[in-house]
Chain A
Amino acid sequence: MARKLVVIGAGMASGRMLEHLTETAPEAFDITLLNAEARGNYNRIMLSPVLAGDKTYDQIVTHDDAWYAARSIACRFGAPVTRIDRAAKTVISGGQTTPYDKLVIATGSAPFIIPVPGRELPGVVSFRDLDDVGTMQAAAARGGAAVVIGGGLLGLEAAAALAAQGMQVSVIHLMGHLMERQLDPAAGYLLQKELEGRGITIHCRGATKAILGADRAEAVLLEDGTIYPADLVVMAVGIRPETRLAVDAHLEVERGIVVSDQMVTSDPDILAVGECTEHQGQLFGLVAPLYDQAQVAAQVLLAEPAAFRRRQTATKLKVTGCDLFSAGDFADGEGREEIVFRDPARGIYKRLVLQGDRLIGAVMYGDTADGNWFFGLMKESADLSDMRETLIFGPAFQGGAPADPMAAVAALPDDAEICGCNGVNKGRIMAAIQGGAGTLEAVRACTKASGSCGTCSGLVEQLMAATLGEAFAAPAARPICGCTELTHEDVRRLIKARALKSMPAVMQELGWKTSCGCHVCRPALNFYLLADWPLDYRDDPQSRLVNERNHANIQKDGTYSVMPRMWGGMTNPEELRAIADAAEKFGAAVKVTGGQRIDLLGIAKADLPEIWADLNAAGMVSGHAYSKGLRTVKTCVGSDWCRFGTQDSTGLGITLEKRLWGAWTPHKVKLGVSGCPRNCAEATCKDIGVVCVDSGYQIGVGGAAGMDVKQTERLVDVASEQEAIDWIVAFVQLYREHGKYLDRPYKWVAKVGLGWVQEVLADDRRRAELVARFDLSQTIYQKDPWAARTDAATRRAWSPLADLTREAAE
């Protein structure tokens, strides 16, 4: 007599298992299939195309009633199983008891619903089964706005499908780039750009705070205060294994139902397959390994030897027009090399990761035609030593000789377009070179080639080298670092000209040679981006060096120094008491600085949030003594006290400090304001120095008193305090917009020329615009970093992750 097999869950894994089982041994089991959903097995992966209207439900059904009937499978759909009785070996569903000899749990997974207020409002759906698709289609038919929470595979497919049906779609994603588990930031950037091009709003680093609405969902509120209107909210933040039945039956369950290599649970008569399982600590979301599980489970049920092994999987996004492929392990690592190919003009990014002569990972965007070829090489672990030079160009290029870039340029026909922006072909550039243009600048001046976006500069130089040979010496402009051939100036210009607003955007569009930069370029790019795009770019603490990341100055012994602001060098008894208390409480050394402030040295990192809280409580804020930004404004006592003082230098100093603090600059900026030409505030060796005179204010810039000592040069003389403030703010903004990272103002002024600075600032309209842009940036950045970092989360983050000093070795 056939034994009784009961299967809970009619999904893709159990469906595939039943196929194997009934093909190999149709008589071995009496099979009962129970399913909570009121239908049989369909291809869940194709829900996105159904939502998009590209397919119908009928087209994605894999097993219809006839299929089950032909195999004598007793189906009970729409009847959720309530209990497994292991002692009696029965399954209870809808008051009915079904006995089993062998049981297979394939309950799949449940969508993860983030626990925010409003999650139970009508109009909030997950994207898991056909009923969800029905709800979404009904909403799409009414039009309006949809918010998709979760920028992973499923969320983006839902977003693209809803947008295609005319909804205004926003995607809220918690992480820094889309599909972060399958894509690196460069590919994530390109994907975001493509989706934005379809009118979808993408909000990365967005944490959902609540879903708003009275009777139904109306909007989604984020932690940062952003509100997106929403007639429909789709939660696609992830799944969790559906394990409730297994837990109630006291099977071993971690995050999923724990299964052996044979897919057997802790009860030898119960197997589990699919997304509800956990194997060697791993959960499953993609279908390929689940099909392997199904095969193994079928064999084990038939008492054949079989063992499940995890295998590499590849991901493709099922959104029409978004070509994206990811497979294997694409992390950097010892002994690993990466081959990166970027074609900014066509939006293509490919990255291969090799270990030795084997390919172990690949991420591709824009052109994924070779994805399966690479995936094949990966699975075969093929030896690639013979083809690695041309590997990234795919199978079509194998077998030929490695290309010489110079020969390739020389071989281009005369009408080949070199500069896409200005439509300049090779012939015109050659004519210019032969006509005497011997430098890149000369070629640019007479042909406009490389004059706009600049990415063809390298090609033009190769043409010059090919034409002029030895006579052409490539310009000695120094690239930022080994990650790029571009100089700081090039990068700044291109960030503005091409509206590059994120680090992955810069690295992709400008052809960075590394996947995530280095300690030289990342801090510079972080500054350029936040200075040029204050509203769009979000400061990246991990691209800041230690002092700016921790908001204190690291000392040689690993402790930190803490320095509160003293506006214009003024303080009072209350502040001094608080400083003294803090010094005592934290055992700090106390030093009076050259910038008219008090430094507390020797503070442990873990104590920083607490000392900040103490100083905040006395009304003091960070002095930014650690930042490439405004440091101090040194003043003398001016007309308030001094018998020689001509103007209120202290007051002006305080006003300037209150206006400028918190702004990031290419390097540190120190100011001085002296009340008379005796110059007690030493204003004439500051980055910006004001000397008050009877007739008004003399503003000097570009002083230095560090590695170099230099007197300021006179920028302008003005009559009123307001004019002085406007000129100084505008000067700082011009420096922020044009300075090279780590150039103090004196170096920058020497490069661009004081005359140019004066010309720009003397233009009333441009001066006012600079001031407006500065003030706009300050709405984002003029925030006390201490006050933002006294909370419990910062205290934890600033403390050791773990303390093992008390654990003894056995």
Chain B
Amino acid sequence: MTWIDIGALDDIPARGARVVKTAQGCVAVFRTQDDRVFALDDRCPHKGGQLSEGLVHGHRVTCPLHNWVFDLETGQAQGADEGQVATFAARIEGGRIWLDAARLLRRGAA
């Protein structure tokens, strides 16, 4: 694991999300009403919608483009829709958000 401090918990509104840019594409970092954080690929498998702009409810997010709903813990599409979004480990420590960037950094030094 490669833990990186990406910002303060308070930088993300509760029931909201912010984006982290990486060499492998954007990652959406969600903060739920109960102050947990989840990191998912910021791309809906349906039409590429930015999940970071979705409405967050419970531990789920609704894609802003066509209302697909994803479970934030597993990345699984809910209900009748089928698909999965990649998830990344994230945790809160001392009010800061740490993201496991092992799969997100550029490979090797150029």
State the A residues within 8 Å of B (CB): 176, 184-185, 254-255, 281, 330-334, 514-519, 522-523, 541-546, 549-550, 554, 556, 558, 796-797, 800-805, 807-810
Residues 86-110 of chain B: 1 if any A CB is under 8 Å from the residue's CB, otherwise 0?
0000000110000101101111111
Inter-chain contact total with CB atoms closer than 8 Å? 131
A808 and B56 in contact, given A332-B32, A801-B29 (Cβ under 8 angstroms): no
- CB pairs A–B below 8 angstroms (20 shown): A514-B58, A515-B33, A515-B58, A517-B57, A518-B55, A518-B58, A519-B62, A543-B15, A550-B53, A558-B49, A800-B26, A801-B6, A802-B6, A802-B7, A802-B20, A804-B6, A807-B4, A807-B106, A809-B101, A809-B108
> What is the bound-complex CA distance between A80 and B21, given in angstroms?
50
Interface centre among A550, A554, A807 (most CB of B within 10 A): A807
Report whether A805 and B21 are in contact in the complex, using a CB–CB cutoff of 8 Å: yes
> What is the bound-complex CA distance between A392 and B101, given in angstroms?
41
Report whether A333 and B23 are in contact in the complex, using a CB–CB cutoff of 8 Å: no
The answer to whether B12 has its CB under 8 Å from any CB of chain A is yes
**10 more A-B residue pairs beyond the given contacts A518-B58, A804-B4, with a C-beta to C-beta distance below 8 A:** A331-B36, A331-B59, A518-B62, A522-B55, A541-B13, A542-B13, A543-B55, A545-B64, A805-B21, A805-B23
> What is the bound-complex CA distance between A545 and B67, given in angstroms?
10
Interface centre among B16, B22, B33, B107 (most CB of A within 10 A): B33
Residues 53-97 of chain B: 1 if any A CB is under 8 Å from the residue's CB, otherwise 0?
111111110101101010101100000000000000000011000
Complex contacts, A545 vs chain B, CB 8 Å: 55, 64
Residues 1-19 of chain B: 1 if any A CB is under 8 Å from the residue's CB, otherwise 0?
0101011000111111011
Complex contacts, B18 vs chain A, CB 8 Å: 797, 800-801
What's the nearest-Cβ distance from chain A to residue B46, in Å? 12
What's the nearest-Cβ distance from chain B to residue A356, in Å? 15
Q: Which among B13, B54, B107 is the interface contact of A546 at CB below 8 angstroms?
A: B54
Nearest-CB residue, chain B, relative to A175: B14
What's the nearest-Cβ distance from chain A to residue B89, in Å? 14
Complex contacts, B102 vs chain A, CB 8 Å: 809
Q: Which among A544, A802, A809 is the interface contact of B21 at CB below 8 angstroms?
A: A802
> What is the bound-complex CA distance between A72 and B83, given in angstroms?
71
Complex contacts, B23 vs chain A, CB 8 Å: 804-805
What's the nearest-Cβ distance from chain A to residue B56, in Å? 7
Complex contacts, B53 vs chain A, CB 8 Å: 546, 549-550, 554
A556 and B15 in contact, given A333-B59, A333-B73, A515-B33 (Cβ under 8 angstroms): no
What's the nearest-Cβ distance from chain B to residue A412, in Å? 34
Report whether A333 and B36 are in contact in the complex, using a CB–CB cutoff of 8 Å: yes
Nearest-CB residue, chain A, relative to B62: A519
Closest 9 CB pairs of A and B: A334-B73, A331-B34, A519-B62, A809-B105, A801-B18, A546-B64, A802-B6, A542-B15, A546-B53
Nearest-CB residue, chain A, relative to B35: A331
Nearest-CB residue, chain B, relative to A809: B105
Interface centre among A176, A333, A515, A804 (most CB of B within 10 A): A804
Report whether B109 and A519 are in contact in the complex, using a CB–CB cutoff of 8 Å: no
Interface centre among A255, A333, A514, A550 (most CB of B within 10 A): A333
Report whether B33 and A184 are in contact in the complex, using a CB–CB cutoff of 8 Å: yes
Complex contacts, A804 vs chain B, CB 8 Å: 4, 6, 20-23, 101, 104-105
> What is the bound-complex CA distance between A541 and B7, given in angstroms?
21
Nearest-CB residue, chain B, relative to A523: B55
> What is the bound-complex CA distance between A97 and B19, given in angstroms?
56
Report whether B67 and A185 are in contact in the complex, using a CB–CB cutoff of 8 Å: no
What's the nearest-Cβ distance from chain B to residue A220, in Å? 23
Complex contacts, B2 vs chain A, CB 8 Å: 809
A518 and B33 in contact, given A804-B101, A807-B4 (Cβ under 8 angstroms): no
Nearest-CB residue, chain B, relative to A606: B19
Complex contacts, B36 vs chain A, CB 8 Å: 331, 333
> What is the bound-complex CA distance between A767 and B105, given in angstroms?
63
> What is the bound-complex CA distance between A800 and B29, given in angstroms?
10
What's the nearest-Cβ distance from chain B to residue A548, in Å? 11
What's the nearest-Cβ distance from chain B to residue A604, in Å? 11
A332 and B59 in contact, given A801-B12, A804-B4, A809-B2 (Cβ under 8 angstroms): yes
In chain B, positions 24-60 with a C-beta closer than 8 Å to chain A are: 26, 29, 32-36, 47-50, 53-60
A805 and B14 in contact, given A330-B34, A519-B57 (Cβ under 8 angstroms): no
> What is the bound-complex CA distance between A545 and B60, given in angstroms?
14
Nearest-CB residue, chain A, relative to B27: A804
What's the nearest-Cβ distance from chain B to residue A554, in Å? 6
A542 and B21 in contact, given A804-B4, A804-B105, A808-B105 (Cβ under 8 angstroms): no
Q: Give chain B's interface secondary structure class.
A: loop
State the B residues within 8 Å of A (CB): 2, 4, 6-7, 11-16, 18-23, 26, 29, 32-36, 47-50, 53-60, 62, 64-65, 67, 69, 71, 73-74, 93-94, 99, 101-102, 104-110
Complex contacts, A543 vs chain B, CB 8 Å: 15, 55
Report whether A519 and B55 are in contact in the complex, using a CB–CB cutoff of 8 Å: yes
> What is the bound-complex CA distance between A805 and B18, given in angstroms?
16
Complex contacts, A556 vs chain B, CB 8 Å: 47-48, 65
Report whether A334 and B105 are in contact in the complex, using a CB–CB cutoff of 8 Å: no
Report whether B56 and A542 are in contact in the complex, using a CB–CB cutoff of 8 Å: yes
Nearest-CB residue, chain B, relative to A330: B34
> What is the bound-complex CA distance between A183 and B32, given in angstroms?
14
Complex contacts, A333 vs chain B, CB 8 Å: 36, 59, 73
Q: Which among A176, A331, A518, A544 is the interface contact of B32 at CB below 8 angstroms?
A: A331
> What is the bound-complex CA distance between A120 and B71, given in angstroms?
49
> What is the bound-complex CA distance between A581 and B20, given in angstroms?
30
> What is the bound-complex CA distance between A803 and B22, given in angstroms?
6
What's the nearest-Cβ distance from chain A to residue B78, in Å? 11
Report whether A516 and B4 are in contact in the complex, using a CB–CB cutoff of 8 Å: no
Complex contacts, B20 vs chain A, CB 8 Å: 800-804
> What is the bound-complex CA distance between A542 and B14, given in angstroms?
8
What's the nearest-Cβ distance from chain B to residue A258, in Å? 12
> What is the bound-complex CA distance between A185 and B35, given in angstroms?
12
Interface centre among A543, A802, A805 (most CB of B within 10 A): A802
Interface centre among A184, A281, A332 (most CB of B within 10 A): A332
Nearest-CB residue, chain A, relative to B36: A331
> What is the bound-complex CA distance between A550 and B18, given in angstroms?
12
Q: Which among A522, A546, A550, A796 is the interface contact of B57 at CB below 8 angstroms?
A: A522
> What is the bound-complex CA distance between A542 and B33, given in angstroms?
10
Report whether B64 and A554 are in contact in the complex, using a CB–CB cutoff of 8 Å: yes
What's the nearest-Cβ distance from chain A to residue B14, in Å? 7
Complex contacts, B48 vs chain A, CB 8 Å: 556, 558
What's the nearest-Cβ distance from chain B to residue A538, in Å? 13
Nearest-CB residue, chain B, relative to A331: B34
Nearest-CB residue, chain A, relative to B103: A809
Report whether B94 and A185 are in contact in the complex, using a CB–CB cutoff of 8 Å: no
Complex contacts, B64 vs chain A, CB 8 Å: 545-546, 554
Nearest-CB residue, chain A, relative to B59: A332
Nearest-CB residue, chain A, relative to B43: A558
Complex contacts, A558 vs chain B, CB 8 Å: 48-50
Nearest-CB residue, chain A, relative to B23: A805
Interface centre among A330, A550, A797, A801 (most CB of B within 10 A): A801
Complex contacts, B34 vs chain A, CB 8 Å: 184, 330-332
> What is the bound-complex CA distance between A8 and B49, given in angstroms?
58
What's the nearest-Cβ distance from chain A to residue B16, in Å? 5
Complex contacts, B65 vs chain A, CB 8 Å: 554, 556
> What is the bound-complex CA distance between A737 and B36, given in angstroms?
36
Q: Which among A255, A515, A801, A803 is the interface contact of B94 at CB below 8 angstroms?
A: A255
Complex contacts, B32 vs chain A, CB 8 Å: 331-332
Interface centre among A549, A558, A796, A797 (most CB of B within 10 A): A558
Report whether B107 and A334 are in contact in the complex, using a CB–CB cutoff of 8 Å: no
Report whether A518 and B74 are in contact in the complex, using a CB–CB cutoff of 8 Å: no
Complex contacts, A523 vs chain B, CB 8 Å: 55
